[in-house]
Amino acid sequence: MKTRRRNFLKSAATAAATPWLAQSSRLLAWLTEERSPAVQFPTSPRERIAVASYPFREFIAGAHDPHATSAKMPLREFAGHVKQKFNVTRIEPWSEHFLSTDAAYLDELRNAVMKAGSGFANIAADGEDSFYSPDGAVRAKAVTFGKKWIDVAAHIGSPSVRINLAPAKDTKPDAALVAESLKLLSAYGEQKNVVVHHENDNPLSENPFFIAGVLDRVSSPWDRALPDCGNSFSAMPAEDAYRGLEQMFAHAYGISHVKDVSVTAKGEAIPVDLSRALAIAKKHNYQGYFSMEWDTTGDPYAGTLKLIRTTLANIS
């Protein structure tokens, strides 16, 4: 009798535990499964267009501008301005144009953009600390800077943030050190549901082939490339720049920069075949935003309008 009762109790306990064990297993699988970003990008060509605030830096108040309270446009008005001037409803603000990162300021910015019927495509954030500095404290500061702007992006509803890869004085770029730091950033971005991007800009620390190698080391869907159609042409032969653009779009996700001229350190203007550059984006099935970043001499309004028309003609 006692043996039968023990067997009965054992069987009953096992039966009762089975649903709990199954639920625990599913929970563990969910917790350990790597999530991927799932931004619902628009499919209409015009809705995929964004306008960066950087080309309009002479007209927008900046955090380090001694005349920030002057007649210059505050960032909160930029979305409505872009919609009126270009019929575009996405903006990409530059970190310099945020006069604060306090919650009240960010709430005001987000509400103003929503009221204008617009939204954010990305934030372009520029820091000074290098992810490959031989000083671990400097690398930690770079990570802290990146996390700060991930928090800002999450607060205002931006799906992504571009974190620059600043150079380190008298130090060659080290892919292993950069990847070590970016793994921390991508994990934090996943927590906040914000994708981190890196742009081919500085010819030393942001060479497109270097960025591609770093991203392969990080191997996270939350850490991606931001292909700039023009930047690399000022630092390398054109065919190398197009190959670099291939690498960038192969690692891209949500944001790219459109320009048809690249200016060298000596001021020489290098033309870019924008149709060829945008064909590379299509080849890699890029679904994200195209942010207009006119970056040469002349009127940024006329230049931006020209870029919009050329982009629409090539992605429609």
Q: Which tens digit of pLDDT belongs to each residue from 258-275? A: 999 998 888 899 999 999
pLDDT at 206: 98
Say whether pLDDT at 66 is over 60.
no
Task: Pick the more confident residue, 85 or 31.
Answer: 85
More confident residue, 30 or 19: 19
* Domain assignment of residue 4, yes or no: no
Any domain includes 173 = yes
Can you list the alpha helix ranges (DSSP code H) found in 102-135? 103-115
Confidence tier at 15 by pLDDT (50, 70, 90): very low
Indicate if the pLDDT at residue 12 is higher than 80.
Answer: no
User: What is the share, in percent, of the chain residues with pLDDT greater than 90?
Assistant: 83
Give domain status of residue 11, yes or no. Answer: no
> Residue 151 corresponds to which amino acid?
D
Is 36 inside a domain boundary? no
CA angle, 122 then 126 then 132, to 5°: 115
Residue-level pLDDT at 265: 83
Give the Cβ contact number of residue 152 at 10 Å.
Answer: 21
Would you say residue 24 lies in a domain?
no
Provide the domain count of the chain: 1
* pLDDT at 23 (0 to 100): 54
pLDDT at 281: 98
- Measure the CA–CA gap between 154 and 252, rounded to whole angstroms: 20
Residue 36 reports pLDDT greater than 60: yes
Question: Which of 14-23, 71-80, 207-216 shows the lowest per-residue confidence on average (mean pLDDT)?
Answer: 14-23
Residue 20 clears pLDDT 70, i.e. is over it: no
pLDDT score for 63: 86
Q: Could you tell me if residue 17 is inside a domain?
A: no
> Among the listed ranges 15-24, 73-82, 162-171, 276-285, which one has the minimum average pLDDT value?
15-24
Least confident of 8-17, 37-46, 95-104, 167-176: 8-17
Tokens of 90: 């996405």
In what order do the strands lie in the sheet containing 223-226? 123-125, 160-163, 195-199, 223-226
Indicate the pLDDT class of residue 33, thresholds 50, 70 and 90.
low
Looking at residue 286, its pLDDT comes to 98
Q: Which residues pair with 256 in a beta bridge?
A: 290
Global pTM value: 0.88
Domain containing 241: what range?
42-315
Identify the band that residue 297 occupies on the pLDDT scale cut at 50, 70 and 90: confident
**Residue 23 located in a structural domain:** no
Q: What angle in degrees, to the nearest 10, is found between the helix axes of 238-250 and 208-218?
A: 20
Residue 181 lies in a domain: yes
Query: CATH number for the domain including 252?
Result: 3.20.20.150
pLDDT value of residue 65: 76
Mean confidence (pLDDT) of the chain: 91
